[in-house]
Structure 1
Amino acid sequence: MNSTNLDDYLAELGISDAAESVPPPAPDAPAPVQANPEEHEEPRVVLERFLTGLVSRIDPGLQVTVRQTEDALEAEITGENAARLAGRDGRTLGAIEVLAYTVLAKVEGRNEGRVRVDIGGYRKRQAETLSRLAERLAVQVAKSGEPHELQPMPPAERRVLHVALKDHPDVTTESVGEGAARRLIIKPRHG
């Protein structure tokens, strides 16, 4: 996506200097975020306003909550139909997360912070599933003495596996490869 397309998209959502050229929002639409360099809003407020504007156009019954944690801004999108918004294999959720990060980088000039978005508990369920998988594979690797290489996966999923097994007495983990081909290997712990 080039910057012109992003500017147009953000303007459509009411989140850019180009917002003046966009027709006025519907009466029940959330207030647009003004990208005025003199008025810096907290990143948490910018993120919440962006996500609220986005999901209100998809399903007005969804709610957004954003909180600042030690290492990231975490957003939770909830509502009766929230789980469907995550998309197949969390792809829509991943795209929303990328957009949220991009909006923060553009509006706030911020590029070092982490943004985590969960929709209808999808990420939490995914983390629980990955933790159970990690434990099963750890037992298998410890029993066989042979390393197990998983398929390439996103950094957030690899991190769940690393964390789940970091204190395991019989195995250790290592990420190998580059970019989208990066994958995790579970190896027996020696000595």
Structure 2
Amino acid sequence: MDNRTNLDDYLAELGISEADESVTPPPAPDTPVSAPALDTAGDPRTALERFLRGLMARIDPELNVTVRETEDALEAEISGENAGRLAGRDGRTLGAIEVIAYTVLSKHEGRGDIRVRVDIGGFRKRQADTLTKLAERLAIGVAKSGEPHELQPMPAAERRVIHIALKEHPDVMSESVGEGAARRLVIKPRHG
């Protein structure tokens, strides 16, 4: 741990001084705080794209953002040489960016009805491919043994990938069981 005792010295090392005009002092305790408007005239795709471009400009200006509308969601792709690292361990940073992006649309644009999916450097696609292959392997095992297989708890998006992969499988079916963070997927024989 750093043994600095003087906050001013620490801030000076970061290039921030008390006289730095770019640092905005915090508002008075009784002052209402509002987020800056994105000024996108009600276009959620533009609002999402503007937000993500601003965020990526602060993280790594070399990253590119593209947003497209699908029939059920807005899908953003963040790409660039260092994009893969931004996804974070197990996609945690990616998940956080996705939640923040949804919150921006919901709170600032009043569009909580729109689903937001973000992929960074193809992470979600690779993850979906891995989960699909896992589903196929487990389906073979369940079909052979006749015994159900219960997976560890996983997020809804990951369960959905497996449900879709097994939807048309002739020998097995999948269902989600449990509540909240403990919700998990069970693969079981279709007949019997």
| Structure ranking higher in helix proportion | 1
Contact 1:73–1:114 (CA under 8 A) maintained in structure 2: yes
- Which runs of at least 4 in structure 1 moved beyond 2 Å after TM superposition? 16-19
TM-score normalised by the chain length of structure 2 = 0.80
User: What is the aligned partner in structure 2 of residue 74 from structure 1?
Assistant: 75
Q: Residue type matched to 1:178 in 2?
A: E
What pairs up with 1:24-173 in 2 under 5 angstroms? 34-35=37-38, 40-173=41-174
Cα offset, 1:169, TM superposition? 0.3
Q: Report the aligned-residue RMSD.
A: 1.7
Q: Which moved more, 1:159-168 or 1:110-119?
A: 110-119
Distance (Å, rounded) in 2 between the aligned partners of 1:94 and 1:50: 16
Contact 1:52–1:63 (CA under 8 A) maintained in structure 2: yes
* Identical aligned residues as a percent: 76
| Structure 2: 5+ residue stretches without partners | 1-32
Contact 1:75–1:116 (CA under 8 A) maintained in structure 2: yes
TM-score normalised by the chain length of structure 1 = 0.81
Query: How many residues get paired?
Result: 161
Cα deviation code 1:100-156 (max 9, x no counterpart):
000000121111211000000000000000000000000000000000000000000
User: What is the aligned partner in structure 2 of residue 186 from structure 1?
Assistant: 187
Q: Residue type matched to 2:64 in 1?
A: Q
Cα deviation code 1:4-56 (max 9, x no counterpart):
xxxxxxxxxxxx9554xxxxxxxxxxxxxx346xx633100000000000011
Larger Rg: 2
| Structure 1: 5+ residue stretches without partners | 1-15, 20-33
User: What is the aligned partner in structure 1 of residue 18 from structure 2?
Assistant: none
